Amino acid sequence: MDEGKGYEFLEHTADAYVAAYGRNLAEAFENAAVAMFDVMTEVEKITPRIEDAVSVESEDKYGLLYNWLEALLIESETHGMLYSKFEISQIEGSGKKFKLDARIWGENFNAEKHLQKVGVKAITYHRMEILEHPGKVTLKFILDV
């Protein structure tokens, strides 16, 4: 793993297989979001100038990760935005109700500034993992490109 990033791309034949890391669940979810946008473009070239808010809910943490990434993908596609900064203010829940609230920052897509790598069509549950240990969380997921 590159120490400067909170994620890495794993070997997969057709899609983007990502492992995102964090000291806690919120940080790992934030790094998962950065990784998803890094699949689409050079994320370091996205200026975080426009702020939006995202809230998602699910019955479990796997669904929460799926809904989080899907909500970001929908925001990006419906508003022509790319995002590079993510701040999760809360992830809470237990049993059958989990909720995530976040602020996200980015800018409108600009073909002259933002290199187009590959488009992300969907998030998948295939091979999704959430590994939680004291002081370290690893998320693994596949993006359908």
When pLDDT is averaged across residues 58-80 and rounded to a whole number, the result is: 97
pTM, entire model: 0.90
Domain that holds residue 65: 7-144
Environment class of residue 28 by beta-carbon count within 10 Å: exposed (0-12), middle (13-18) or buried (19+)? buried
Mean pLDDT over 37-65 rounds to 97
Indicate the helix (H) or strand (E) that contains 71: helix 61-79
Let me know if residue 110 belongs to a domain.
yes
Number of helices (H), then strands (E), in the chain: 2, 8
Instruction: Kindly state whether residue 2 falls inside one of the protein's structural domains.
Output: no
Output the domain CATH number for residue 52.
Answer: 3.55.10.10
Say if CB 32 and CB 22 are below 8 A apart.
no
Number of structural domains in the chain: 1
Task: Please say if the pLDDT value at position 3 is more than 70.
Answer: no
- % residues pLDDT > 90 (the chain): 85
Q: Would 135 be classed as within a structural domain?
A: yes
For residue 87, the tally of other CB atoms under 10 A from its CB is 12
**1 falls within a domain:** no
Residue 13 lies in a domain: yes
Q: What is the pLDDT of residues 10-30, one digit of tens each?
A: 776 668 899 999 999 999 999
Contacts of 18 (CB under 8 A, 6+ apart): 7, 8, 9, 10, 32, 35, 36, 39, 139, 140, 141, 142, 143
Residue 25 belongs to a domain: yes
3-state helix, strand, coil in the chain (%, to 5): 25, 45, 30
Please name the residue that has the structure tokens 């059958």. 96
Reply yes or no on whether the pLDDT at 74 is more than 70.
Answer: yes
**Structural domain contains residue 78:** yes
Per residue in 108-127, pLDDT (tens digit) is: 999 999 999 999 999 999 99
